[in-house]
Amino acid sequence: MNKNMPSRVLVVCLGNICRSPMAEGVLRHHIQSMGLRIKVDSAGTSGHHQNEPPDLRAQQEMRRRGMDISSQRSRPLVRKDFDRFDVILVMDHSNLEDALAIAGPRTEWRNKVGLFLEDSEVPDPYYGGASGFAQVHDLVDSAAWRWVEQWKEHQDQP
């Protein structure tokens, strides 16, 4: 996956109501704090929650951390996203397989997809309690900061 500074980033989980909306909010926060101009969106590999707001527990955790994601709405990942976005970051290996299946055989599309946590997965907190959402926030916050620092570094290079 290309690690140069993108202009558009898509974050993907299964339903686009827990992990990816939180990651979208955190990425947007860090991008703005670093003064970068990168558009961020999120989607789900399943359309089951289409047009729903993020899970209330995700909204509460993000609000607790000073970020409002209540205006986000779930949408499915579609083939057109592979043209529109420079980088597509997924939450787990199942999302990775699903995203690659949607991308099809086009190498340039497949090369845009990678794990949000480069060497691990972000667990799905949907069936757990509030502590799972706090854990997800901590994981995506740390990873988002690393992504943004890396993109900033590439922007600053001549």
Burial group, residue 145, by CB count within 10 angstroms (0-12, 13-18, 19+): middle
d(CA 43, CA 72): 10
User: CB under 8 Å to 130, separation ≥6 — which residues?
Assistant: 57, 60, 61
Please report, to the nearest 10 degrees, the dihedral formed by the alpha carbons of residues 37, 32, 50, 119 taken in order.
Answer: 90
Tokens 């599309």 found at: 109
Residue of 13, 18, 41, 92 marked active site: 13
64 part of the active site: no
Give the Cα separation of 132 and 142 in Å (integer). 16
Dihedral pair phi/psi, residue 76, rounded to 5°: -80, 150
Among candidate residues 41, 55, 92, 124, the one labeled active-site is 124
Tally the residues of the chain.
Answer: 158
Catalytic annotation present for 13:
yes
* Residue 84 designated active-site: no
Name the catalytic one among 19, 41, 57, 81: 19
- Residues with active-site annotation: 13, 19, 124
